[in-house]
C-alpha cells in the first residue's frame, strides 16, 4: 500500500475519533470539560531537571521550541502532539519562569519554520513579560528559525545562530486550495447557503473575486506591519531597513549576522556560556520535562510510519481549521 494513502487512512480514523469526542463535549458540563482537558494535557507545574549543578538562587532555564508553532484545534489534543511542539505546555513553562524569582536567565533554542500569527504573538508577548521581570533572555537558533521562529526571537538580549542556520523568511502567508476545475471535471456540484456576501470567502469551490482578494490582502498586510514593528523594536533597526530585509527571502546565519538580524555566530553551548557569564557566579542550569502528553498520543503510529508521513498526518489534522494567517517558511 502506498505510504501516503496509508497515512491518509490513519488520519481519517483519527479525525473520526476527534469528531466523536467533539460530540461528547456537547453533552458534557463545563466542569467535566475542564477535568478532561486537565487529564489530557497535564495541568500540573512543569517538572524540573537539573542539567548543570550550581547556585539555586541563580538559575538558568533551557527551553526548546521544536516544530511548527501551532495550537491544536479545539480542546481535543493532536494525537501526535507528544512528539512535537505543544503550545499550551510551552506557554505554561513561560508563566512558571516569570513567577520564579530564582530564575535569572532563559536560553531558548529555536528550531522551527514558524507557524500561526496568533500563536507566535502569544509567545512573543510572554517573552516580553520575562524581560519585564528582569530575566536575561538569549536565543540559540538551530538548523531553522524562520518566519514565526524569528518573530518570537526578536525580544532576545542576544541571538546566536550557526553559519548554516536558515532564518529570515520575514513575512506573512495565507493560502488555500481551489479544486473547482477538478470538481467540474467529475461532475461534482456544491450547494452553498450563506448569510452574507463574503461568508464563503476563500471557498475552495470557486474562484475569488478581486474584491475578496483585496480583503484578504489587507489582513496579510496588517500582520506584516506587526511583524515589521516587532523586528524594528526588538532589534533596534530602522523601519526602512527592516522592510528591505523582510521581503520573504531566507537568510543563512552568516548573512543574518551581517545584516543585523542576529548578534553572534555560535551554537547552543556558546549561547549558554555567554548567558552564564552575563548572569555571573555559578548559576544552576535546568530544563523542564514535558508532561506525558495527550490521552490519544499514538507512539505506535510513529513506529511504523516515517517522520515525513507523521508530519503529513499532522498537516491534514491542522487543515481542519481552514486557511490561517501564518508566519511560516514554506519549503
- Which of the following is catalytic: 33, 102, 199, 308? 199
- Rounded distance between C-alpha atoms, residue 157 and residue 235, angstroms: 9
User: Contact, 147 vs 170, CB < 8 A?
Assistant: yes
The number of beta carbons lying within 10 Å of the beta carbon of residue 157 is 16
The total of other beta-carbon atoms located within 10 Å of residue 154's CB is 21
Tell me how many degrees the CA angle 318-74-92 measures, rounded to the nearest 5. Answer: 95
Instruction: Decide if 162 is catalytic.
Output: no
CA distances from 35 to 25, 30, 39 (A): 12, 9, 6
C-alpha grid cell for residue 32? 467535566
Q: Is 194 a catalytic residue?
A: no
Q: CB neighbours (10 Å) of residue 210?
A: 6
Closest among 9, 69, 17, 13 to 40, alpha carbons compared: 17
Tell me the β-bridge partners of 326.
116, 173
End-to-end CA distance of the chain: 27
Query: DSSP of 26-50, one letter per residue?
Result: HTS-HHHHHHHHHHHHT-SPPPEEE
Q: Are 291 and 186 in contact (CB under 8 A)?
A: no
Which of these, 169, 157, 176, lies nearest to 227 by C-alpha position?
169
C-alpha cell at 297: 498520543
Q: Which of 125, 108, 90, 126 is nearest to 230 (CA)?
A: 125
Residue 161, Cβ neighbours under 10 Å: how many? Answer: 32
Could you tell me the three cell numbers for 219?
A: 489582513
> Looking at 147, 153, 223, 318, which residue is catalytic?
147
Largest CA distance in the chain: 73
Residues with a catalytic annotation lie at 147, 199
Amino acid at each position: 500500500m502506498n505510504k501516503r494513502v496509508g497515512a491518509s487512512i490513519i488520519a481519517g480514523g483519527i479525525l473520526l475519533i476527534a469528531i466523536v469526542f467533539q460530540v461528547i463535549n456537547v453533552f458534557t458540563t463545563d466542569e467535566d470539560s475542564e477535568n478532561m482537558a486537565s487529564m489530557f494535557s497535564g495541568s500540573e507545574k512543569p517538572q524540573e531537571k537539573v542539567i548543570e549543578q550550581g547556585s539555586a538562587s541563580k538559575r538558568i532555564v533551557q527551553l526548546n521550541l521544536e516544530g511548527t508553532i501551532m495550537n491544536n484545534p479545539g480542546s481535543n489534543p493532536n494525537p501526535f502532539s507528544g512528539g512535537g511542539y505543544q503550545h499550551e505546555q510551552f506557554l505554561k513553562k513561560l508563566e512558571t519562569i516569570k513567577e520564579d524569582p530564582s530564575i535569572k536567565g532563559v536560553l531558548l533554542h529555536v528550531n522551527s519554520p514558524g507557524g500561526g500569527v496568533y500563536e507566535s504573538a502569544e509567545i512573543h508577548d510572554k517573552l516580553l513579560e520575562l524581560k519585564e521581570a528582569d530575566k536575561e533572555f538569549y536565543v540559540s537558533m538551530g538548523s531553522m528559525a524562520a518566519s514565526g521562529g524569528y518573530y518570537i526571537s526578536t525580544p532576545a538580549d542576544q541571538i546566536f545562530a550557526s553559519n548554516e542556520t536558515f532564518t529570515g523568511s520575514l513575512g506573512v502567508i495565507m493560502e488555500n486550495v481551489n479544486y473547482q476545475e477538478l470538481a467540474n471535471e467529475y461532475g461534482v456540484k456544491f450547494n452553498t447557503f450563506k448569510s452574507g456576501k463574503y461568508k464563503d470567502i476563500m471557498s475552495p469551490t470557486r474562484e475569488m473575486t478581486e474584491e475578496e482578494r483585496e480583503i484578504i490582502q489587507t489582513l496579510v498586510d496588517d500582520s506584516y506591519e506587526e511583524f515589521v514593528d516587532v523586528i524594528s523594536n526588538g532589534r533596534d533597526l530602522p523601519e526602512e531597513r527592516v522592510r528591505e530585509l523582510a521581503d520573504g527571502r531566507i537568510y543563512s546565519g552568516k548573512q543574518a549576522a551581517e545584516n543585523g538580524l542576529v548578534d553572534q555566530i555560535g551554537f547552543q553551548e556558546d549561547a549558554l556560556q555567554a548567558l552564564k557569564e552575563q548572569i555571573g557566579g555559578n548559576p544552576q542550569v535546568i530544563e523542564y520535562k514535558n508532561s506525558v502528553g495527550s490521552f490519544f498520543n499514538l507512539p505506535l503510529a510513529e513506529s511504523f510510519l516515517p517522520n515525513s508521513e507523521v508530519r503529513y498526518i499532522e498537516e491534514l489534522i491542522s487543515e481542519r481549521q481552514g486557511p490561517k494567517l501564518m508566519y511560516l517558511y514554506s519549503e
